[in-house]
Structure formats: C-alpha cells, structure tokens
Structure 1
Amino acid sequence: MTQNLDAISPDIPSDYESLKARISTLSDSMPKRLLQCARYALANPDRIALGTTAEIASAAGVQPSTLVRFAQTLGFDGFSQMQQIFQGQLVGRNSEYTERLTKIRESGTNTPGGILGNFVERSKQSLDDLLRQVDTVALERSIEALSAAENIHLLGLRRAYPVVSYLHYTLGKMGVRTNLLEYTGGILEERVQFINENDALFVATFSPYSPEVVEFASKAFGRGVSVISLTDSVLSPIARVSSTVLEVNEAEHGAFRSLSTTMCLATSIAVAVGDARKWTSLS
C-alpha cells in the first residue's frame, strides 16, 4: 500500500532491521532519486557504513544532498546519524560470526576433521529431510514451467548466488538458454522489461532475504511471468510473488550452514529440465 511520507511515524530506526522495515514501508511513496538511494543502501550496506558522503553519492549516482534528504526521510537528523546504523550492523555481523566460531570451539569439534565431520553429518540430516519433505507437486510444476520457457532467467544474491550460478552453468552445458542476472551498476530493475510471458524467472533467496530479489520477482510476476522461487520458508516474502515455491532447509553447525542440500536440489532441477527439453525436442 502506498503511504504518505508525512504520515509516517517520526520514530527513528534503532537498528538495521528496523531501518530496512522503514525503507520497505516508505519505498512506494519515495521519489525516484530517494528510491535510488534506498536500493543502493540495501544492496551495499558495507559501503554505506564505511564510505564518505561524497563517495557513496557518486557510487549511487545521486547528489550528496539527496543522500542527506534520504536519511531525513527515514527520520534521521542527517546522513551521519543514519550511517551509524549501518556501522552497527557491520560490527554486529562480524561479532555474530565470531560467536558462531566460539560455539564450534566450545563444542570441542574445532579441529579440521571435527568441523568437516559435523558438516557432513548436518548435511546428511538435511538431505534426508529434503527427501521426506519435498513438495513433489511443486517440484513437478517447476520443471514443467522451466522446460516450457523460451528463456530461463536466474537471480540470486549473496549466499544464493552460487546456486543460480551453478544452474546457469549446468543448464548451459545441456543447451538450455539461460540468462544469469547480476546486480551490477544498479540497473537490475531495468532488466525486468526484457522478460516476457514466454520466459520463466528462477530466483533463490534465504533469510534474511534479499529485498532486491523480492522486488525484481514482484515486478516480473506482475508482468505475467512464471516465477519459480527456491527459499527456506513458505512464509518467505518471495512466496507472495511466486507461481511456485520450492522449500529447502540446511541444518546448521555452530550457526553456520552449508549449501549441500540446496545444491542437490538445484542439480536435480537442472538435470530434470535438461531431460525434459531433450524429449520435447525429439517429439
């Protein structure tokens, strides 16, 4: 729902999550340049945390004054106050990974062999869960949509990027036309216009979910494109803008998660699509 910027609560976001929520609430009402700032900030939180106003404005393609106005729109006195939230997120994230490593050390399995053994065991658990819990109807629908598509567009950022990159490689080896979408130059949004109803969009995103991926999928879905999403929960924000949702969960070791089960599912999808395309071309 579109909201009036002046009607938003003046409370200042106190952490990165509340900041993201504020941006999400205001995004529909933001002028073009402020929305450009918002997208850049969410896609490059480390640069916002560490850069100068001039450096960030140049990279985002806006004027420094626009960055200040963006911060004030979110309830801050100025850019520096907003930047502190991004800096806190950066420090917190580093501390979070330190805590994860501490958990592994405290478990007494911090030798290389112990770490490997635990990840193998967790991966076995996740693979068994996938086999028991996979939604075979959703899987078959996904294969049908991807097999019938003229072009398969692939999108995943951060932890999900290796998944779509692997699909791009494997499907390409089988002669399936794919397009790997990347967030470069801040022009991801514009690429949605090149996806039509005869194509399919495959997206992957996991908690805390990439807002850029959700937004892109939403626009494609609104254009009538078949959107197949690979995510870790049917309650994921990507589920609302997907034709079909495939759910996969990775068991953790010391709060770290591998991609073994996710890659297994992705490989199965690629092989099934390649096989379906082969038989379709022969019939």
Structure 2
Amino acid sequence: MPRTDQPATPETTPHDVLASAPINAERLLQMITEQYDNLPRQLKRIASYISQQSDRIMVDRISDIAGECEVHPSAIVRFSQRFGFSGFSEMQALFREAYTHKTTPVRNYQQRIRSMIANKSHKASAADLARECVHSTLSGIERLGAELDEAAFEQAVELVVNADNIYVVGVRRSFAVADYLVYNLQHTNKRIHLISGLGGSYREQMRSVRANDLVIAISFTPYGKETQHCLRIAQNHQAKTLIITDSNLSPLAKRASTILLVNEGSSFAFRSLSATLCLCQALFIAVAYRLELKVDEIHEQLGFDD
C-alpha cells in the first residue's frame, strides 16, 4: 500500500529510502551517523536534533521537533521515511520502546514546561522559574550518569595521563568550562595551557603543540569556528584530541581521538553547564586517582584567600 504520511518529494526518492527500518533506536542512531554527510540540509538539522535529544523523541510532538529544527513538519516525515519508517509515529515508537524502562526526568520536565506555558491564568513566580531551571539541570546530570560511555571515559583518562602538554580550548559559553578544567588539571604536575584566544591569538597559542600533546576541545551546537580552527592545527601537528561535545555528528567529532558526549538540560531556551562541569570534574578526579594524587590534600597556594 502507498504511504499516506507525505507525498514523494525530490528530497526523498526510492533510492534514498531504506528497504526496512532499523530494529532498535541504537541501530537507528548508528545509521544516522553513517549517513549524515549525504543528507539534505534540512534533514541534517533533524538528524542532529535526534542524535542530541534521543531521550526526548518519545514524548516530543512532530511540531516540537519541527520548531526546534526550524523546518516544516513534513520534513520530519521525510526523515522518518528515509530511514525505512512509514512515518514519524513509527520512528517515535522505536524510541519509546528503548526508553520506557528507564527513568524519564526529561519527559517529566517537558510536561511541566508545557503545563506552565499552557496555563495562561497562572503567572509564573520567580521561584517557579528557578525550580524549572533546577529540574532542567537535574535532568541533564541524570542523563549524563545514565548514558556515560565508560570505554570512552577510560580512553579520555589515558590521554590526559599520558600527555606531555595539555591544551584546553572552549569559546563563548564553553569558555567557563575550559577555564574550570584548566584550574583542576593545574593541580597535577602536567603542563596545562588555556587557549583563550586573547586578541585573536588562537594560532599563536597553538603553535607549540606537538605529537605527544593533548588538545581538549569543548564545544556544543552551533560549534565555535575558533575551536574547530584549533583542532585543525592540532591535527596538522599530530597531537591527540579529546572532544567534549553533544553529538557524534558534531563537526569536531571527525578530528577526535576520543569523544565524551554530554547533553545539558535546557530551560526557556537557556542551556545549563552543570552536567558538563560535572563531567570535567569527574575526569580530573579519575586522572588524579591514576596519578596517585592525594585529592583531599589539594589546597590553594599559601598566602591567598578565597
């Protein structure tokens, strides 16, 4: 029988559509990563959203995803059909099956946000807004704990432990995380460098990177061009790279020795940094443990107060 979700369009041809849908959400995400470069521009936006927000797909409405991706809802249907589904509902069912056995703080958070927006008769207080920010932060941290890639984390620790010099770069909202990670790593005997780009000097600050060094790059959508520039320099100098980002589809991922994925909770279009900071703190503690540092004896330099 012909599909009724959406008529055929130039973006979805019989050649593009898979013969059968993937059997589970994990396989679908893997296929999205494999085929990402060949997707049309609008479908790339949808692919990035699904990759970053896989735990939200089971409760998102098609209009929600379309709004987040700035596409027409019909593009969501085309995306679903491209990967062998009859339409969005069938693809969504795959994620519901994958996540129903897990705790779903994101779903509860989404429901609270929708209720708050829909309830026009109740004006949200400052405390209401504060609680929504807290719930958003908690959902991001809980997701980090549930989805942490243990093998990738072990590889990240190995990279830090074995590096001669460590360069850390993050721009705009990620700069605070980069600075915090540098502060932690400076408690080791490693030579740590913060790539601040002061005065536009990214290239100059990266010029001494060598093959036995490690560049840690922190970047989230829409991915800082300066960070990507630093990674190209690192790759040209044959340095190792540890990427902290939100998706395997990130342009930084292609230049990564190891990737640590983290997806923050967001409230009213503002994304938290708490899960990323938690990940960086965990990375330092694991490194300190490997280096046999006495973490509980790490103090500020004498003569300085907070």
Structure 1-normalised TM-score?
0.59
Match of 1:149 in 2: 163
Residue 110 of structure 1: how far off its partner (Å):
4.2
The structure that is helix-richer by fraction is 1
Distance 1:154 1:260 in 2: 18
Map 1:75-94 to 2 at 5 A: none
Match of 2:175 in 1: 161
Other structure's SS at 2:231 match: helix
Match of 2:129 in 1: 115
Residue 174 of structure 1: how far off its partner (Å):
3.9
**Aligned partners of 2:197 and 2:205 also within 8 Å:** no
- Select the residue among 210, 213, 216 that pairs with 2:224: 210
Other structure's SS at 2:169 match: strand
Structure 1 unpaired stretches of 5+: 1-102
Q: Cα RMSD between the aligned structures?
A: 2.3
Other structure's SS at 1:116 match: helix
- Select the residue among 146, 151, 173 that pairs with 2:187: 173
In the TM superposition, what whole-angstrom CA distance separates every residue of 1:195-217 from its partner, at most 9, and x where no partner exists?
11111110101111101111111
**Aligned partners of 1:104 and 1:254 also within 8 Å:** no
Residue 188 of structure 1: how far off its partner (Å):
0.8
Residue 109 of structure 1: how far off its partner (Å):
6.9
Map 1:101-140 to 2 at 5 A: 110-140=124-154
Residue 108 of structure 1: how far off its partner (Å):
5.4
Residue 111 of structure 1: how far off its partner (Å):
2.5
Residue 176 of structure 1: how far off its partner (Å):
3.5
**Aligned partners of 1:122 and 1:252 also within 8 Å:** yes
Q: Which amino acid aligns with 1:142?
A: A
Structure 2-normalised TM-score?
0.54
Distance 1:220 1:194 in 2: 10
In the TM superposition, what whole-angstrom CA distance separates every residue of 1:180-234 from its partner, at most 9, and x where no partner exists?
1111122211332201111111010111110111111122023211100101111
CA gap 1:174/1:114 in 2 versus in 1, 3 angstroms: farther
The answer as to 2:284 corresponding to 1:259 is: no
Map 1:1-283 to 2 at 5 A: 110-278=124-292
In the TM superposition, what whole-angstrom CA distance separates every residue of 1:73-102 from its partner, at most 9, and x where no partner exists?
xxxxxxxxxxxxxxxxxxxxxxxxxxxxxx
Q: How many residues align?
A: 178
**Aligned partners of 1:221 and 1:242 also within 8 Å:** no
Distance 2:120 2:134 in 1: 19
Other structure's SS at 1:202 match: strand
Q: Which amino acid aligns with 1:137?
A: A
CA gap 1:168/1:203 in 2 versus in 1, 3 angstroms: same
**Aligned partners of 1:229 and 1:246 also within 8 Å:** yes
Match of 1:47 in 2: none
Residue 173 of structure 1: how far off its partner (Å):
2.7
Percent identity over the alignment? 31
Distance 1:244 1:214 in 2: 15
Greater than 2 Å deviation, 4+ residue runs: 103-112, 173-177, 190-193
**Aligned partners of 1:251 and 1:257 also within 8 Å:** yes
CA gap 1:203/1:109 in 2 versus in 1, 3 angstroms: farther
Residue 106 of structure 1: how far off its partner (Å):
6.5
Distance 2:153 2:236 in 1: 22
Residue 104 of structure 1: how far off its partner (Å):
11
